[in-house]
Structure 1
Amino acid sequence: MAVAAGFCDAALGTETRGSLMIPGFRNGVFSFKPTRGLISRSGIIPLSSSFDAPGVLARNPEIMKKVILAMVGVDLEDDQSFELTKTESNPSRKRIICCVNRSLGEMELLQTELRPFLAQLKLNGFEITFVDLPDVSFDYKTISSADIRSDMAKFLQRFGSDNEPRSFEELVERYRERPNAHLYGMERLEDALAMPQIQKSDLKKLVQENVAKARDLINSILDRYDGDFVGFLNFVDWFSIGGGPSCTLPVSFETKPPISIMLGSRVGNDLALLNIVQEFSEIAKATQYTEN
Structure 2
Amino acid sequence: MKKYFLLLVIILLSACKNEQENKEEVVLWTPYNDSIEVAANADHENGRMQYKLIQSKILDKNEVFSPLYEEVSKLTEAEYQKLLPMILEQDIFVIRNHIKEGRLTYENLVLFYLHRIYKYELDNTTTLNTVIALNKDVIEQARELDRLSEKGVVTKIQHPIYGMPILLKDNINTLGMKTTAGSIALMDNEVDDSFIVQQLKKNGALILGKVNLSEWAYFLCSGCPVGYSAYGGQTLNPYGRRVFETGGSSSGSGTAVAANYAVAAVGTETSGSILSPSSQNSVVGLKPTIGLLSRSGIVPISSTLDTSGPMTKNVKDNAILLSAMLGYDELDSASVEDNFPGVLSAGLHPIPFSDMRLGAIKELIQTDSIYKKTIEDLKEAGATIVEFTPPEVAMNGFLSILNIDMRNDLKSYLKEYTDPKLVKISSVTDAVIFNNQDSLVRIPYGQALFNGILSDSTTTAELEEIKSNLEKNGRTFFDNAMDKHKLDAVLSINNYHAGYAAVAKYPALTVPMGYKNTGEPISLTFIGKQFSEANLLRLGKSYEEKFPNRVLPKDYQN
TM class, shorter-chain normalised? 0.7 to 0.9
Q: Which has the higher contact order (CA 8 A, sep 6+)?
A: 1
2:544 aligned with 1:285: no
Task: Tell me which residue corresponds to 2:368.
Answer: 109
CA contact (8 A) 1:117 1:283 kept: no
Q: Secondary structure at the match of 1:101?
A: helix
Q: Where do residues 135-150 of structure 1 align in structure 2 (5 Å cutoff)?
A: 135-138=392-395, 139-150=397-408
User: CA 1:282–1:225 in structure 2 vs 1: closer, same or farther (change >3 Å)?
Assistant: same
1:119, 1:155 → 2: CA distance? Answer: 47
Gaps of 5+ in 2: 1-167, 173-199, 207-261, 552-558
Residue by residue, what CA displacement relative to the aligned partner does 1:188-229 show, whole Å, maximum 9, x if unpaired?
Answer: 322211211422x44233212221221233222212333210
Task: Tell me which residue corresponds to 2:488.
Answer: 228
User: CA 1:134–1:14 in structure 2 vs 1: closer, same or farther (change >3 Å)?
Assistant: same
Task: Tell me which residue corresponds to 1:212.
Answer: 472
User: CA 1:269–1:100 in structure 2 vs 1: closer, same or farther (change >3 Å)?
Assistant: same
TM-score w.r.t. the length of structure 2 is 0.46
Q: Secondary structure at the match of 1:285?
A: coil
Task: Tell me which residue corresponds to 1:16.
Answer: 270
1:43, 1:238 → 2: CA distance? Answer: 26
User: CA 1:65–1:181 in structure 2 vs 1: closer, same or farther (change >3 Å)?
Assistant: farther
Task: Tell me which residue corresponds to 1:55.
Answer: 309
CA contact (8 A) 2:315 2:544 kept: yes
1:97, 1:239 → 2: CA distance? Answer: 15
CA contact (8 A) 2:491 2:525 kept: yes
Worse-matched range after superposition: 53-62 or 185-194: 185-194
2:456 aligned with 1:198: no
Task: Tell me which residue corresponds to 2:537.
Answer: 274
1:287 CA drift (Å): 11
2:550, 2:269 → 1: CA distance? Answer: 30
CA contact (8 A) 1:222 1:230 kept: yes
CA contact (8 A) 1:156 1:168 kept: no
Task: Tell me which residue corresponds to 1:164.
Answer: 424
1:127 CA drift (Å): 1.7
The total of aligned residue pairs comes to: 282
2:447 aligned with 1:186: yes
User: CA 1:85–1:55 in structure 2 vs 1: closer, same or farther (change >3 Å)?
Assistant: closer
CA contact (8 A) 2:390 2:480 kept: no
1:115 CA drift (Å): 5.2
Q: What is the root-mean-square deviation in Å for CA atoms of aligned residues?
A: 2.9
Worse-matched range after superposition: 202-211 or 71-80: 202-211
2:550, 2:419 → 1: CA distance? Answer: 52
1:271 CA drift (Å): 0.3
Residue by residue, what CA displacement relative to the aligned partner does 1:13-47 show, whole Å, maximum 9, x if unpaired?
Answer: 22101111111222222110111111111111111
User: CA 1:51–1:108 in structure 2 vs 1: closer, same or farther (change >3 Å)?
Assistant: closer
TM-score w.r.t. the length of structure 1 is 0.85
1:283, 1:170 → 2: CA distance? Answer: 52
Higher strand proportion, which one?
1
1:270 CA drift (Å): 0.9
Task: Tell me which residue corresponds to 2:389.
Answer: 132
Counterpart of 1:267, as a letter, is Q
2:326, 2:379 → 1: CA distance? Answer: 33
Task: Tell me which residue corresponds to 1:2.
Answer: 169
User: CA 1:179–1:153 in structure 2 vs 1: closer, same or farther (change >3 Å)?
Assistant: farther
Gaps of 5+ in 1: none
CA contact (8 A) 1:100 1:232 kept: no
State the structure with more CA Rg: 2
1:184, 1:57 → 2: CA distance? Answer: 28
